[in-house]
Structures are given as C-alpha cells and as structure tokens.
Amino acid sequence: MEGGSNMKRLLLFAFLLMSAAYVIGGGARVVDKTEYAQFAITDSGDSAVVIQFQPAFAIDSFPYHDSIQYTADTSLWDTVSYLSEVQTFILTPGVVDSSTNIACTVVFKGANKKGFNLNVGDAYITAAKICDTLVYAFNNTTTLKDSVLAQDSGNYVKLKSKYSEVTNDTNWGLIVKLVGGTGTLDTTRRSATIASVCDSMVAAINGMDSARFWTAANVGDTVYTLTSTDKGLMFWATNTDSTQDTTTLQDNVTSKSTRTDTLPLTISLVENDFRGSAVYGDIILQSVEADTAYGVGFSDSAWIWLLTGRPVDTGVVYTVIAKDSASALPCTLHVAKPHAAANDTIYHNFLKIAWAVSDTMTDTNMYIEYPISVDLEVTDGF
C-alpha cells in the first residue's frame, strides 16, 4: 500500500512539473484592460454660410425689405426693412446785395417746371432773412407746396420731397439762379444711393433681435453680405422688394474631424520558450455619451486593426492580423485566429492596435476620449 501511495505522489508531482513547464515555457498571454483613444475635434475645415445682397438701384423713400429663415433656435422667418430717405436739397445763401434776384425753379417729370422769383431788397440781405423768405415762398407757392416742403435751418434751407420717387415716377430737379446784383447761393442734392442703402440695411440687420445668428457687413459700398455667426448654422435669405439680387457666396460646409493612432499591447510574441501564434478575443471601440448640443456621439465612423510588428533597421514592419469597421460606434473587432504552421511567418515580435475615428460635428472644438476595451488571449498553439 505504501508503494502505491508513493507512486501516486510521483505521478502527481510529474504532472505539476509538466503544468508548470507549460505555463512558464508556453501557455497563454492574456490582456484584459481598457485604453483610451484620444480624439480632438476641430472646426478648422468648416465654413459658414455667406449670402450677398446687391441693390440694383437706389430709390428715394422706398421700403427695402429682406426676409431671413434660420434653423438655430427656431425655424421661423425674420424680416428687416429700411425706408430710404426722400430726396432733399440744401440751399445755403451767401452774401448778397439788395439788387439781387433769386430765381428758383423745380423741374418735375416731363420738364414740367414750377417756381418763383424772389427780389432780396434792402431788408433781406442777411442769410437768416433770406432763408425765412425762401421757406415762405416754397411753402406758399401754389404750384410747389403740394410736392415740396421747405424747412428753415437758420443759415440754410432744406427742401424735402413730399412723395417718394416711385409715386412721382422720377426725382425732381432744382434750378437756382442769381439774377442781377452780387452774391452766392450754394445748392447740394441729397438722395438715396446704393452705398446708403447698403449701410442702412447692414445697420438694420445687425440691430435685429436675431442678429446673434449672423453678421451683416457693407462691402465696397455696392453690396452687403450676411454671414452666419456659427459654422454649420443654415439660413436662407430672400429679397421681397424686387430691387436686390441675392447670391450665396459660401455654402455651409461641415468638415470631418478624423484621427488615426495606435495603442501598444504589452504582449511579447517571442519570449523564452513562448512563441505566440494564435489569438482569440475582442477589441471594442466604445461610444461616448451623446450630446445633442454639439453632436458628440452621433454617427461616428470607426475602424480597428490588430497589428503584429517587428523592428528592422529602417523602423518597424507591421502586418494586419484582423480588421473591422462600423458606421456608428461602438465598433467591435472580433479576433479568432487559430494556430497554424504558417503563422510562424505571420506573427512577428509584438502586437499593436490601430484605430481611427471620423466625426462630422460642426462649429465645435473639443477633446474627447473614446474607451477601447481589449480582451485578448494569445497562445502558442499547443
């Protein structure tokens, strides 16, 4: 009985030695951990919408009107209007003598002329008195008072049209002559210009409550632009007064932020008596918590590669063992490579993970870490 017991002990001891030799000299290498793929999202490739407005012509006392539809906090239309100034003339009398006559003629469409002749006289040789008299004459001449309003500004007279250019079908002209005597009378015409329309529309747009979504700017006094404040903010603009042409200079462009990198695995395929030649397990590139404000975690494309590499004089040579991709996270690479004699030339010195993520978020700059779960077992094929 004692001899039998000793034999059993010897067999058990031999089995333990063989098991130890298997673990030390062969066996398996296991990796079970979570790494993090570091990903920086940038909007450097994004472009904001730019719409150009080009007034075809300037019209006095005309309501210029733009409508803008935006998709930020609301999908409603917002509108902006600007009523251009009426035509005005500034009459500035200089020094005149009592023998001077001032002839004022207003010319309407079809060369229809209306006016009066003012004799200055001894009592009206000062600029202030002349302005008083001219204002009275314009506002009390039957043929003028229905169309032109005169205003006394102390040392000059301001003449304003009572009707828009559209109503009159044209702007009226002013002819002023000094007849006899000496003196001067300067006249300056003021009316809407394309530059003033551009300036005023820019001011009106930038003063809107919704102006936080875009910025208007005058460009060369001939056109003005509307630019999205945020890259990725879609909006549309139309002109409803038929006096402006609209052109989209820059479409909204949403770029992709993409990064490819590698993660090392602390598994040596060649170590003592161990020669790794079979791999089984999973590598999972996890999603991150979705954020509707920035688009994080939505429709992120991903790729995973399991590589084996060996150093050479010029660097490292890699071979792809397995790969997979997904149009939306998570992306799972399942590896099932059994031992085969040919693996001795495929598996090199170590393993490495390569990953890539592509995200189409816009107007966003942030740093994200995607968890990568690694659960692999490498055996030597025994």
Are 59 and 206 in a shared domain? yes
Asked if residue 2 is part of any domain, the answer here is no
- CATH code assigned at 145: 2.60.40.4390
Spatial CB neighbours of 380, under 8 Å, sequence gap ≥ 6: 26, 27, 28, 274, 275, 276, 277, 278, 339
**Do 365 and 265 sit in the same domain of this protein?**
yes
Are residues 76 and 96 both part of a single domain? no
One domain for residues 336 and 366? yes
Same domain, 309 and 274: yes
Of the candidate ranges 9-13, 48-52, 248-252, 352-356, the one whose mean pLDDT is the lowest:
9-13
Q: 19 or 66: which carries more pLDDT confidence?
A: 66
User: Would 172 be classed as within a structural domain?
Assistant: yes
Nearest by Cα to 348 from 296, 275, 249, 288: 275
Percent of the chain with pLDDT over 90: 17
Look at the chain and report how many structural domains it folds into.
3
What is the share, in percent, of the chain residues with pLDDT greater than 70?
Answer: 79
**273 & 372 share domain:** yes
Is residue 359, in this structure, part of any structural domain at all? yes
Least confidently predicted of 7-16, 57-66, 81-90, 107-116: 7-16
Average of per-residue pLDDT values in the chain: 79
Residues 141 and 210 in one domain: no
Question: Does residue 15 sit within a domain?
Answer: no
pLDDT above 80 for 294: no
One domain for residues 178 and 126? yes
pLDDT band at residue 43 under the 50/70/90 scheme: low
Indicate whether 20 belongs to any domain. Answer: no
**Assigned domain for 22 exists:** no
End residue of a domain, out of 164, 190, 216: 190
Same domain, 186 and 198: no
- Collect all residues with Cβ–Cβ distance below 8 Å to 49 and sequence separation of at least 6: 227, 228, 233, 234, 235, 248, 250, 251, 252
- Same domain for 291 and 372? yes
The answer as to whether 5 is a domain residue is: no
In this prediction, residue 191 carries a pLDDT of 86
Higher pLDDT residue, 82 or 96?
82
- Which CATH number does the domain housing residue 303 bear? 2.60.120
CB count, 10 Å around CB of 211?
A: 15
Report the alpha-carbon distance of residue 35 to residue 323 in Å, rounded: 18
Please give the residue range of the domain that contains residue 308: 29-44+255-379
pLDDT in tens, 177-195: 888 877 788 889 888 899 9
Last residue of a domain, one of 190, 211, 229: 190
Q: Is 13 inside a domain boundary?
A: no
Of the residues 250, 274, 298, the one at which a domain ends: 250
138-171 per-residue burial string, b: 16 or more CB within 10 A, e: under 16: beebeebeeebbbebeeebbbbebebbbeebeeb
State whether 297 and 233 are in the same domain: no
Q: Are residues 220 and 272 in the same domain?
A: no
